[in-house]
Amino acid sequence: MSPTAPRRIVTGHDGDGRSVVLSDGATPTTHVFPTGAIFHEIWSTAGAPVPLGAAEPGEPTDGPLRVPPGPLGTIVHVIDMPPGASAPMHRTKTVDYGMVLDGEVYLELDDGTETRMVTGDVVVQRGTAHGWSNRSDSIARMLFVMVDGAFTEDLRSALGEDALSQLLE
């Protein structure tokens, strides 16, 4: 059974500058991965400060999934993980704020650590190599906000070129 795409409500302004709802419906962009994880892209920005016009010139989630989101950019997505689904070990050049909205998942780190996360738990990932797995018999849903980052020289040196060349981009 495939989970329902989250509802996305986008606000903006009318011609007089009053607040209005520009769109209200299912998230328009979804990516299904071979490991079973389903990414619903909610929104993305290409930089900061974000231009705030009356409306967006186009759908910000059109096109391929971009990680990292670009210089000073952000990505917001909801990830559904059916029972048995996983996301393999990967590293992104981002700070990620991840919250379990429903269910439970295991956060796996490259040092072998596994941390069980349940509804309401939040993780702050700082460019770390990590993976996810849903070992339960229910769908798990997570919300992620990813913010563009840059590795400092001391960490770049510690990680080495092999680790950096395997960034998810």
Q: What is the pTM of this model?
A: 0.88
Token pair recorded at residue 80: 């559904």
More confident residue, 59 or 69: 59
pLDDT of residue 18: 95
Token pair recorded at residue 25: 């419906």
| Distance, CA of 22 to chain centre | 23
Residue 39 has pLDDT above 50, yes or no: yes
pLDDT digits (tens, 9 = 90+) for 13-25: 999 999 999 999 9
Tell me the residue length of the chain. 169
User: Between the CA of residue 76 and those of 5, 6, 15, 39, what are the distances in Å?
Assistant: 14, 12, 28, 10
Non-local (6+) Cβ contacts of 14 within 8 A are: 20, 54
* Superfamily covering domain 29-165: Jelly Rolls (2.60.120.10)
Cα torsion for 30, 126, 156, 162, to the nearest 10°? Answer: -40
Where exactly are the structural domains of the chain? 29-165
Token pair recorded at residue 56: 């967006």
Looking at the DSSP assignment, which residues form a beta bridge with residue 13?
Answer: 19
